[in-house]
A and B are shown apart, each in its own frame.
Chain A
């Protein structure tokens, strides 16, 4: 394939994903435990229009943003660590977020009413703080040993993840069964929201993070050829690592705070899209933003209809799909 053809493939993939994104945005709110006709959605004051505008549309938008953010940050981590198995949670951000949330659930459950902080639940605020704290801890640990070395980052991330898991288990052990159920439910991830508050909170982080990675596309492409070569061309590796980490962590941290950890989207989607859009980050970054969103919105559509009127947590569904994909990835890599 010549570079011209690759360019054409990249543009075509983006066009297809863009159309799919719009189609999901328009059609998915009409589908659910009860289908709503477009005409009914625009009749003001009806239950149907309230469901579409206050429940389903924000939920679909949140899924589109969340999936996109997870895929883009997974792409960034995979390129940064030159490792196909890296994902947004590799450096312990999910562990930190979960620890924050679990701690808040444990402490606020007694008063039964969540007082809220700047319009957000205490759980979401604590989770965001936990995510940023875990990232800061990992980067801080890595910085202590001359520069930010990739291997040190990975090891520090794993250590922080395990510590968070252990603390979560400890807090769960101290909690009663109602609290424990809420904690487990939070960690399954979910996109149920009412109104656009969460969407408006997540959107700027996601757009800024994805925009930054798009600006860094030459650096990311250069990383594909190896860190040493990138450094010899004038890339400041330490600064680049911090920028990729910062962009990904803020995006994912802001997101996980309101949706809980949704697994495997960040691992799966960049891989699928590399095959279609190629590895040039000029196309891959927007492709991940669009494709990840479409993937998660469709997963969520299945999750809220397959057992209707009950809902399957979307995190369960993505992980159910993710496990076999992971195995397939391992096996197909072996045979190549």
Chain B
């Protein structure tokens, strides 16, 4: 129903877009909080996602990352505050209508799915199908083909999902979310349980989702280097509140990280994308070394 903008038409593409907030917010949360059983899991917080950015949410276990993503996709209804897509409140959308704007890829779970890859990707078309539609339309199959091509798993299309590796299954679910043709793609821990090669594949895919098919991507990750390499902006979440927000070099500093995770980090500069090392081992102190005053973070090499 909603026309998709041309790929990359309105995307800041790696620019530092977080400073401005305004009509270009694709997804905005104002004063949202989620308090199941009187315990605050998320918020109250404000968050704005700009069209075309890749926003990473990082934070310790139990920070509320998954709950925040589920709020942003409309799976959870906030107890306070409002959520809006492109300036329209979520409650103005029907369920399927919202699913045509925002697609979600939950964390990969080891459940048996007795379907073939193409069938799972075709299920991404659900919000576009009418209940009494006998068969999917040509446009649905075209969307499936395009999604399989973008993710690069066309060769798997006839395979049963249960026979695939974890990395391949994650790719299948991302393809299904792409076939949903929603402008926003929300991914929960896309690299968890994946081996390094598949982590690399997913890391290569995210910039292509933005550049090639014009998607706005929001993801949660425990992998700070994955976030550093793929995100245009990072939000640090702790105890359900936003601790800070910025480009990877702005946010991924030893100070912010040690405050966020209560663990010692070292940051090695690598151009736009800082490389983060977690200090581990019995011979190391559990607190980060204090930064000498006036020392720029660049100098803190191991």
Contacts and interface: CB of A to CB of B under 8 A. Distances in A.
Contacts of A82: 111
B75 A228 contact: yes
Interface in A224-257: 224-226, 228-229, 231-236
Contacts of A224: 113-115
A333 to B, nearest CB: 10
Contacts of A274: 114
Nearest to B99: A234
B104 interface: yes
B119 A3 contact: yes
Interface in B118-135: 118-120, 122-124, 126-127, 129, 131-132
A298 interface: no
A231 B104 CA distance: 10
A234 B126 contact: yes
B288 interface: no
Contacts of A228: 75, 104, 106
B106 A229 contact: yes
A2 B106 contact: no
A232 B113 contact: no
A221 B119 contact: yes
Interface centre among A5, A222, A232, A235 (most CB of B within 10 A): A232
Interface stretch (B90-98, B198-206, B259-267): B90-98
B71 interface: no
B132 A231 contact: no
B111 A234 contact: no
Contacts of A311: none
Contacts of A279: 114-115
Interface in B188-210: none
Given A231-B75, A232-B99, A222 B126 contact: yes
B147 to A, nearest CB: 14
B157 interface: yes
B132 to A, nearest CB: 7
Nearest to A226: B111
A215 B131 contact: yes
Q: Is the interface of B mostly helix, strand, loop or mixed?
A: mixed
B158 interface: yes
Nearest to B96: A234
B228 interface: no
B180 interface: yes
B109 interface: yes
Contacts of A1: 116, 158, 160
A225 B103 contact: no
A234 B114 contact: no
B73 interface: yes
Given A3-B158, A218-B123, A233 B180 contact: yes
B127 A233 contact: yes
Nearest to B76: A231
B95 A234 contact: yes
Contact of A226 (B103, B106, B114): B106
A221 B116 contact: no
Nearest to A146: B36
Contacts of A221: 115, 119, 123
Contacts of B118: 2-3
Contacts of B127: 233-234
A222 B157 contact: no
A232 B103 contact: yes
A229 B131 CA distance: 18
Interface in A200-225: 215, 218, 221-222, 224-225
Contacts of B132: 215
Contacts of B129: 218
B109 A226 contact: yes
Nearest to B141: A3
B177 to A, nearest CB: 8
A6 B127 CA distance: 23
A233 B113 contact: no
Contacts of A114: none
Interface of B: 73, 75, 94-100, 103-104, 106, 109, 111, 113-116, 118-120, 122-124, 126-127, 129, 131-132, 157-158, 160, 173, 176, 180
21 contacts: A2-B116, A2-B158, A3-B119, A3-B122, A5-B158, A218-B123, A218-B129, A221-B115, A222-B126, A224-B113, A225-B113, A225-B120, A226-B111, A228-B75, A228-B106, A232-B73, A232-B106, A233-B123, A234-B96, A234-B99, A279-B115
Q: 7 tightest CB-CB pairs across the interface, nearest first?
A: A234-B96, A232-B104, A234-B99, A2-B158, A279-B114, A234-B95, A233-B126
Given A2-B118, A224-B115, 9 more contacts: A2-B158, A3-B118, A5-B158, A225-B123, A229-B106, A232-B75, A233-B124, A234-B94, A234-B127
